[in-house]
Amino acid sequence: MATLVSRINDVVAAIGADIKALQAAQDIFCRTTSSYTLANNTTFQKLLNVSTNGAVAVLANSSYDFECFFILTGMSATSGNVGFSIQGAGTASVSPAHWIAIGRDAATSTGTAAGAMGGMVATAEQFTNNIVTAATATEMYVLIKGTFVTGASNGTIIPSVKLTTAVATAAVSIGAYFKCRRLGASTGTVTQGTWT
């Protein structure tokens, strides 16, 4: 009887591990429903006020695609811009990463008229300089899309921003979001569909 109970416990533990792996392989998504004031500093800090540290679990040795959008208000009129990091202070190693940011340093609260957009391309998990062309507006918006690969251990990522100029009033507006999806293993070319 003890052997049967032990075997049942082993099966239950294996199923639990499989469920956790499946949950981590699901699409990951967060959209904020309230504004969030950033800390008054120029170090990387969580972008989304979704949990205590803004972290989400990712699997080891995996390729992910991701998308992120946010509007920041109350920024410096001298240089109201940010850097961006996929990993932030998370525990997963992220390398390589390839992403593009397109946005504008312009007033957004009443809608923004068409105008010149700026942006950049990154080949690392973080970019510490301005991710859109700097201007004197105290608001900015940006859409970021790309891919990243995780290292040998399961861990977390904390999508993060770094203010170019510290200011006590900088805030992430309602509706900011981050989403990512596991595409497959990190080795070789990742494909889905009927490639021939």
Q: Is 88 within a domain?
A: yes
Instruction: Note the pTM of the prediction, 2 decimals.
Output: 0.84
The answer to whether the CB of 110 falls within 8 A of the CB of 159 is: no
Is residue 4 situated within a structural domain? no
In tens, the pLDDT along 24-74 reads 567 899 999 999 999 999 999 999 999 889 999 999 999 999 999 999 999
177 inside domain: yes
Q: pLDDT tens across 32-46, in order?
A: 999 999 999 999 999
Residue with tokens 């052997």: 3
Q: Is residue 3 part of a domain?
A: no
Domain count, the chain: 1
45-46 and 160-163 beta bridge pairing: antiparallel
- Residue 178 resides in a domain: yes
6 domain residue, yes or no: no
Domain residue limits at 59 = 28-185
